Amino acid sequence: MFDPHDPLGIEDLLSPEDIAVRDTVRRWAADRVLPHIAQWYEAGELPGVRELARELGSIGALGMQLSGYGCAGASAVQYGLACLELEAADSGIRSLVSVQGSLAMYAIHRFGSEEQKRQWLPSMAAGETIGCFGLTEPDHGSDPAGMRTYAKRDGSDWVLTGRKMWITNGSVAGVAVVWARTDDGIRGFVVPTDSPGLSAPEIRHKWSLRASVTSELVLDEVRLPADAVLPEVTGLRGPLSCLSHARYGIVWGSMGAARTSFETALDYARTREQFGKPIGGFQLTQAKLADMAVELHKGILLAHHLGRRMDAGSLRPEQVSFGKLNNVREAIEICRTARTILGANGISLEYPVMRHATNLESVLTYEGTVEMHQLVLGKALTGLDAFR
Ligand SMILES: Cc1cc2nc3c(=O)[nH]c(=O)nc-3n(C[C@H](O)[C@H](O)[C@H](O)COP(=O)(O)OP(=O)(O)OC[C@H]3O[C@@H](n4cnc5c(N)ncnc54)[C@H](O)[C@@H]3O)c2cc1C
């Protein structure tokens, strides 16, 4: 039988374990996020973020795909399903989880020393410690190679000075993974946020990701011991491989925002009447719904495909760029079209559609803008580098 919510039968691709993970996260988001999200969004805050983080830890959603050190050791597909369910509630909640697991924890898990892993990962997996990831600077976003934050040696210590911008979780983090220039190239540092000289003022007045903490990180001669550096990586390869991991989650997550918007529009189109019949009975509305469904389920299928490649160890960064470029671009289009179907109600916070659309403006920009992923693919297709 044709299922309007799963027209391609994608559910058949999932194992019972996949379905259990998906349903756990879906239930958590329905209980803990959906009843409050419009209010949080309107207020531009994420109250109780520490409690939310602990609850996310208790359902195994933090550093989900990592193994050992209290992490769930889930598959890439399961991690993706969790991202989709979280972002179906709000991109801000998915961002909290992505930054914690795919950026901060992943960096420590992949490039950290055994002592760093033991010190930080169990409490981060439990949501007791929130992490952030400082790469972007006020003058260096798409091109982080030009970063100015500098770590100089002083005896065996490191002293960090610089400014990071647009840092998710910054003001509520207990630990920051900060990327800085050194005499030997770019290195990553694990920085406790109570280190003297570090401050994290919150960035306000955002029109997107309003239920997400975004901050500056100001580092004013922050002194760190020799073992604060991530020992296993030098150069941009470090942050870029973390970003590739987080982008993979966005390939799935963006389809969550799109799914909620599509389903809201479908429901509305069936019940809202104009000219004597439901607006879903007009061909122009049906064309919108059909196109939205096609892009939504193609996107979910693409996410599955990339997930299976990641689980097989064969996923390439260019393929992640392919997925991020396509799925976020299509998700935002689905949300905008859904908004038109809702008419004036589409601009109201009573419905989730405009919230998702404005959230996706950030998702379109962070973890590599549309243009960056076009350039990655353009280079892979032509062999010609057009970044400079
Ligand atoms: C809500 C939010 C949360 C974020 N969280 C984090 C975080 O936790 N950690 C972190 O480190 N960063 C974070 N970021 C920062 C994000 O990664 C950057 O905003 C992003 O990399 C783009 O950098 P930029 O804003 O400086 O834009 P710019 O790099 O200045 O780009 C501006 C425009 O120019 C285009 N452009 C740039 N170069 C080229 C080129 N060669 N060819 C064609 N077009 C080009 C871009 O595509 C874009 O359209 C976050 C951002 C937001 C909005």
Is the same domain home to 316 and 189? no
- Ligand 1 mean position to 10 CA, how many Å? 33
On whether both 166 and 72 belong to a single domain, the answer is no
Residue 74's contacts (CB-CB under 8 Å, 6 or more residues apart) are 21, 60, 64, 65, 82
* Domain boundary residue, one of 228, 252, 277: 228
Task: Please pick, among 42, 137, 367, 371, the residue that the annotation labels catalytic.
Answer: 367
Residues 113 and 135 in one domain: no
Whether residues 291 and 354 share a domain: the answer is yes
Instruction: Return the ligand 1 atom nearest residue 369 CA.
Output: 47
Protein residue whose Cα sits closest to atom 43 of ligand 1: 371
Considering the domain boundaries, does residue 3 fall inside one?
A: no
- What is the predicted pLDDT for the residue at 86? 98
Q: Are residues 110 and 15 in the same domain?
A: yes
Q: What would the pLDDT profile of 67-114 be if each residue is shown by its tens digit?
A: 999 999 999 999 999 999 999 999 999 999 999 999 999 999 999 999
What is the reported pLDDT for 282? 98
172 plus 158 within the same structural domain: yes
CA of 252 to the centre of ligand 1 (A): 20
- For residue 359, being part of any structural domain is answered with yes
* Any domain includes 213: yes
Full domain range(s) for residue 359? 237-382
Quick check: is 356 in a domain? yes
Residues 242 and 219 in one domain: no
Same domain, 34 and 105: yes
Over range 315-333, report the average pLDDT: 98
Distance in angstroms (rounded) separating the CA atoms of residues 185 and 168? 25
For ligand 1, say whether the CB of 188 is within 6 Å of any of its atoms: no
Q: What element of type H or E holds 219?
A: strand 214-224
Q: What is the β-pairing status of strands 185-192 and 175-182? A: antiparallel
**Known catalytic membership, residue 367:** yes
CATH number, residue 269:
1.20.140.10
Does ligand 1 have an atom closer than 6 angstroms to the CB of 99? yes
Asked if residue 170 belongs to a domain, the reply is yes
How far, CA to CA in Å, does 48 sit from each of 36, 299, 358?
A: 11, 32, 23
140-167: per-residue pLDDT in tens? 999 999 999 999 999 999 999 999 999 9
Looking at the structure, do residues 324 and 224 belong to the same domain, yes or no? Answer: no
Indicate the residue among 99, 125, 151 that finishes a domain. 125
Cβ contact 159:223 at 8 Å: yes
Same domain membership, residue 84 and residue 118: yes
Question: What confidence tier does 16 reach under pLDDT thresholds 50, 70, 90?
Answer: very high
* Per-residue tokens: 177: 């993974």
